[in-house]
């Protein structure tokens, strides 16, 4: 492909973004600390975060960004209570907020050699909604620590907007990546070219809108996820009076129409939505079981204390037969408008 835009063509160099279920060296996280995001639920969110670190440290390296020594001591104390004694590494990478999925580097793997490179995209806090200058420096720092060559792209992109099957297909949403608060200078066709070159994929599948309450303008990781190269799990809302009903139904219909690189339909599995979650009476939060995170041997699943929790666990356990489904109480985390997947960024092995 001709280099029509100011970016690197990593696909032509043999690199691609691995699927999340492929082996990890570790997971990178940023400690929740912003009271303007978590309000009165900050301490509870930090406890849930410590649970996430505890579960991950049993199966892979865990790298945590902290702003200062006081923050490191606070989390270390929580981990000591949980008897976490290994596999946790601290980094003084100062952040604005906790959402490492979006401000962390995205690591690609060479198709033949297995060598890794990092990609650094512009993070503008979901269209300039919040401060992001500190977050926007973290990707390069991660790459430097990992000893990876880092390719920077002058394009706004967030990890939560991208979902790949590891075999050339990328799933995303129009409401996010085509939003004028991201890259208004580029057309849909140009965005597709950027994704293909920068992430080493061959086909882009576009869903429509994100769920109610999602301040990211519709990240895919609250809507639909690959669980293997040919299976997509997506959320549905059976209550026709709920605003998410039509949104989810439209996306489900689109998913059923999609085809893989060989022209075959995907296997589509549905997940329920949890009961609506609110922080204030008029503020619907984007609670979703699709925001699970796949690690070595486990899947971290956000749960919300409602009957659908058990349904979601059962559905995902059937899809991830070789992994344990680990529920994480996300009742406080969701006040920050994200949960397990939003917090985490995988480092391929």
The residues carrying an active-site annotation are 342
DSSP state of 68: S
Sheet with 88-91, strands from edge to edge, namely 88-91, 61-65, 24-30, 344-348
Task: Please check whether residue 33 is in contact with residue 98, taking contact to mean a CB–CB distance below 8 angstroms.
Answer: yes
200 vs 170: CA distance, rounded Å: 10
Closest residue by Cα to residue 163 from 81, 226, 77: 226
Angle at 346 between CA 33 and CA 35, to 5 degrees: 10
Angle at 126 between CA 192 and CA 345, to 5 degrees: 75
DSSP annotation string for 277-312: EESSTT-EE---GGG-EEETTEEEEEE-SSTHHHHH
Sheet with 224-228, strands from edge to edge, namely 224-228, 231-236, 267-272
2 vs 15: CA distance, rounded Å: 17
300 vs 328: CA distance, rounded Å: 7
What separation in angstroms does the CA of 237 have from each of 214, 232, 251, 309? 16, 17, 11, 14
Q: How large is the C-alpha radius of gyration of the chain?
A: 19
Query: Cα 148 from chain centroid?
Result: 21
Task: Please check whether residue 269 is in contact with residue 231, taking contact to mean a CB–CB distance below 8 angstroms.
Answer: yes
101 vs 82: CA distance, rounded Å: 25
Task: Please check whether residue 274 is in contact with residue 309, taking contact to mean a CB–CB distance below 8 angstroms.
Answer: yes
């Amino acid at each position: 492909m001709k280099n029509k835009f100011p970016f690197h063509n990593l696909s032509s160099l043999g690199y691609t973004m691995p699927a999340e279920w492929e082996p990890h060296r570790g997971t990178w996280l940023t400690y929740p600390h912003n009271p303007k995001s978590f309000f009165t639920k900050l301490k509870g969110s930090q406890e849930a975060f410590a649970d996430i670190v505890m579960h991950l440290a049993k199966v892979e390296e865990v790298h945590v960004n902290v702003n200062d020594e006081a923050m490191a001591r606070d989390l270390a104390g929580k981990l000591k209570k949980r008897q976490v004694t290994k596999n946790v590494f601290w980094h003084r990478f100062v952040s604005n907020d906790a959402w490492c999925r979006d401000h962390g580097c995205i690591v690609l793997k060479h198709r033949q050699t297995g060598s890794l490179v990092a990609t650094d995209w512009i993070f503008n806090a979901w269209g300039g909604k919040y401060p992001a200058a500190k977050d926007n420096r973290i990707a390069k720092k991660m790459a430097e620590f990992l000893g990876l060559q880092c390719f920077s792209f002058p394009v706004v992109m967030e990890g939560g907007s991208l979902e790949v099957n590891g075999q050339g297909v990328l799933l995303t949403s129009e409401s996010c990546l085509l939003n004028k608060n991201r890259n208004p200078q580029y057309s849909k066709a140009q965005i597709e070219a950027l994704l293909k070159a920068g992430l080493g994929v061959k086909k882009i599948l576009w869903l429509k809108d994100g769920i109610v309450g999602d301040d990211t303008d519709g990240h895919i990781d609250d809507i639909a996820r690959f669980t293997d190269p040919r299976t997509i799990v997506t959320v549905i809302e059976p209550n026709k009076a709920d605003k998410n009903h039509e949104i989810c139904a439209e996306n489900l219909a689109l998913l059923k129409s999609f085809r893989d690189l060989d022209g075959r339909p995907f296997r589509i599995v549905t997940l329920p939505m949890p009961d609506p979650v609110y922080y204030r009476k008029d503020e619907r939060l984007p609670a979703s079981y699709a925001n699970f995170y796949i690690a070595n041997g486990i899947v971290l699943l956000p749960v919300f204390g409602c009957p659908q929790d058990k349904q979601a666990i059962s559905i995902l356990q059937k899809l991830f037969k070789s992994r344990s489904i680990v529920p994480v109480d996300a009742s406080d985390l969701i006040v920050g408008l994200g949960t397990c997947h939003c917090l985490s960024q995988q480092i391929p092995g």
